[in-house]
Structure 1
Amino acid sequence: MSKNTGKKKGIQTIMILAIILLLPGFLYVVLNRNGMANSYATLPIFGEKEVPGTTHKKWGRERMDTIYHEVPNISFVNYDGQPIQLFDQDSAISVVHLFYSRDKSFSTSLINNLNKVSGDFRHNGMVKFYSVTVDTTYDSPEVIKNYIQNIDPSGKRWYFVTKPSSDIFKFAQQGLLQDALASDDVNKPFVIGSSYVLIDSKRRIRGFYDITMKKEVERLSDEIKLLVVEEIRNHPPKIENK
């Protein structure tokens, strides 16, 4: 074996060893900067955003803080007469929509479709459903109870609420980002949005699902599951030391 050949093999051996030693660290850096941040699907956050100029750390990297639109936390009265706080659990995912009992179009479709979705999540304590009437004068708890007599929301964490603690139209328009206004039409006294609104535990809007479009109810179910995974990841269960 020539001297040059031996030297060449020695260099190759050193390079191979260097690659073996450095590759795990290189991969860690790449995953830490890119892969971990994008290794799961996430839902968008809707509404106006504000960047205050402060930062926080995530996956070891400095990130700009962002203040997102939040749905106001107001109280209602449920169809059974019990007081209801819209966001009474800081780990809950909420699905909210508007309705009124005298409406035979959007309201009926929104409630009928949500009946199945709420049933699918009956055993998931993280998910709550709110059907919010805009007809707060006519839709008393007694009227709503009669209106939903063919639906059993018990055990589903599904609330049919009225008597809001603040203006319902302001809450709908500015909070839920949904259409809601009184109309001069006797047969249709209110105009309401035709969407379900998906809200995370921080009261941020994560999705709109318009029932006038095909497969939106199916997409709602899928994205509730996705948001459940996100909430569990961000709030892992605490293990008590005994």
Structure 2
Amino acid sequence: MGASAMAGQFGARLQTRVSRLVSRPSFWLVAILFGLSLPVLNQVLRPPAPPLPVLGQLGAFSFLDQDGRAYGSQDLQGQVWVGSFIFTRCPTICPAITKQLGHVQKRARNLSQAFRIVSFSVDPTHDSPEVLAAYAHKHGVNPRMWRLLTGPLDAIRSTVEGGLKVAMGELPEGEQDFASLFHGTQLVLVDAELRIRGYYDPAEPEIVDRLLHDATMLINRGH
């Protein structure tokens, strides 16, 4: 028998065996299960993301929240939280920041026992707890997750600039141009040990996804 004939017979036998195998339901069950397992295998085999850097250590602080109650670092022990900087008379960036944090609040409901949002007023002389309460109501703030804080100007400045490393301006006395009150707009991610782990620009696309991804990683890993 020639080589070509032998090759033809081998090919025919192979095709027959493949046809029989494919015709079995168990073949397709195995194929489906294998296909479904690929994403899981990719997740298992993928190296873990590196830990977030430690960018600073925040000291103790205590201010008044929108309900007029003392709230500060003691209440945040063991919590991962994001800090923001706003004032209620702000006509420009603050409403946009608050809107982004509203998306964070909504998407972080499954993290509510381990995650908080804290907004520091950079105009605390005007932003009393009552004023903050009205602002919170207007923007759908859930006090179980999100606190708005006010207090003595010097103490707020010490925490914002000295602790969280975010710039904070001040309105000259009698000044009514609230757009001129400069302040940092970054969101600051803080871990359960009051360590700064990231700064985020609220204007960036996908910022909510990235912030919640990093917060979830801190909660799950504990560091």
Shared fold, TM over 0.5: yes
Contact 2:125 2:153 in 1 (8 A): no
Whichever structure has more strand as a proportion of its residues is 1
Compare CA radii of gyration and give the structure with the larger one. 2
Counterpart residue identity of residue 61, structure 2: I
Structure 1 consecutive aligned stretches of length 4 or more whose deviation exceeds 4 Å: none
User: Which of 195, 198, 207 is 1:207 aligned to?
Assistant: 198
Counterpart residue identity of residue 221, structure 1: L
Q: State whether structure 2 residue 156 is matched by structure 1 residue 168.
A: yes
Q: 1:149: how far off?
A: 2.2
Change in Cα spacing, 1:81 to 1:183, as seen in structure 2 (3 Å) is closer
Counterparts of 1:155 and 1:186 in 2: how far apart (Å)?
30
Q: Which runs of 5+ in 1 are unaligned?
A: 1-37, 47-68, 235-242
Q: Which residue of 2 aligns with 1:102?
A: 89
Counterpart residue identity of residue 125, structure 2: T
3-state SS of 1:111 partner: helix
Q: 1:123: how far off?
A: 3.5
Q: What TM-score does the superposition give when structure 1 sets the normalisation length?
A: 0.65
Whichever structure has more helix as a proportion of its residues is 2
Q: Which residue of 2 aligns with 1:15?
A: none
Q: Which residue of 2 aligns with 1:20?
A: none
Q: Which runs of 5+ in 2 are unaligned?
A: 1-46
3-state SS of 1:159 partner: strand
Q: What TM-score does the superposition give when structure 2 sets the normalisation length?
A: 0.70
Q: Which residue of 1 aligns with 2:66?
A: 79
Counterpart residue identity of residue 139, structure 2: I
> Quick one: higher RCO (CA 8 Å, sep 6+), 1 or 2?
2
Counterparts of 1:166 and 1:86 in 2: how far apart (Å)?
17
Q: Which residue of 2 aligns with 1:186?
A: 176
Contact 2:125 2:152 in 1 (8 A): no
Q: Which residue of 2 aligns with 1:153?
A: 141
Q: Which residue of 1 aligns with 2:98?
A: 111
Q: Which residue of 2 aligns with 1:43?
A: 52
Counterpart residue identity of residue 44, structure 1: P
Aligned residues: 173
Counterparts of 1:164 and 1:74 in 2: how far apart (Å)?
11
RMSD: 2.1
